[in-house]
Structures are given as C-alpha cells and as structure tokens.
Amino acid sequence: MPLRTKVSFVSDLFVFAAALVLVVLLLYPVLVYYNRRVNRVRAALPQGTWSMPCVDPKASRGWRVLVADDSGVYVTNMSGQRTRSWAWGEIVGVHTGPVRTALVKHPGVILELREGRSVGLLLPSSSTLRYPSRTAEQAAADLSSRHSTATSPRG
C-alpha cells in the first residue's frame, strides 16, 4: 500500500473516531437528563405503585413513565400528568411482543384490551436507551401479576 493511501486511511479513521466520540459526548447529557426526569416522576408516585420508564410510540414526545396501581395502568408524561390510562377491568392480558415505532419493531409490552384492541409500549434500558427484551419480559411479568391480583375475586 502506498504511503499516501496509508495516511489517507489513518486520517479517515481518525475523523470517524472523532465523530463517534462527539456523538457519545452529545448523547450522554441527554441520557442523564432523561433518567433524572424519570426518577423525579417516579419519586412523586404513591407508595406501593409500580413504575418503569417507557416510550409510547403513539405519542409525539415519546419519553414517558408507565405506572400501575390499584386502579389500573397509566402512562404519564415527564411532568407526571396522565396521558393514557386503562382500568384493570379493561385489560384482558399482558404479554411481550414486537412494538412498531416509525421504522422498526422492538420488543415491548403489549396490553391486550377488550374489543380486540391492544396497546404497545417500549421499555428502554436505563443506561443505553435500547429496548432489551429482558426488560419487557420483566415488566410484562410484573404487570400480569398485578392484573391477576386486581381482577381476582376477593374472598
């Protein structure tokens, strides 16, 4: 390989690495800001309430908090205001499955509602903003357990 080609390759590699570092440095504060906002909303919830950060693909500003309490499941915005809600009696089942965003599908939690409707929500990792299937599986298990408790006849 001629020297000029080696120098060109090294400079291209350096530019790529610098661009990658710049992207990481720009995204890190966004991740920190997101986690702080989610933690603030979660801290304001009543004791015994289950919650998890989520992304609602149907919302224009997707970052949300998924909450489950004695009355049902709801989604809040980053100010703690409910944006969508479902009573336990409205929910027929909870499972994991693919949830479509604008371009791709990710593993998420699907709330099966009466009349054949369903709602898909994504649950990002707290450190990477990816959507790991294990996070969705854990959330679905927690919500299913709460659903069973809330809808079972009390003796």
CATH number, residue 88? 2.30.29.30
User: Do residues 93 and 70 make contact, with C-beta atoms less than 8 angstroms apart?
Assistant: no
- DSSP state, residue 45: S
Please tell me the total count of domains within the chain.
1
Here the tokens at position 92 are 């027929």
The pLDDT assigned to 155 comes to 40
Give the pLDDT confidence of 77-93 residue by residue, as tens digits: 988 899 999 999 999 99
Compute, in degrees rounded to 10, the torsion defined by CA atoms 96, 130, 49, 33. Answer: -160
Which residues, at least 6 apart from 127, have a Cβ–Cβ distance to it below 8 Å? 31
Output the pTM of the full model: 0.78
- DSSP state, residue 105: E
- DSSP state, residue 58: T
Query: Whole domain around residue 79: which residue ranges?
Result: 3-151
Position 103 pLDDT exceeds 80: yes
Give the pLDDT confidence of 47-70 residue by residue, as tens digits: 989 999 998 888 767 689 999 999
Least confident range of 12-16, 138-142, 147-151 = 12-16
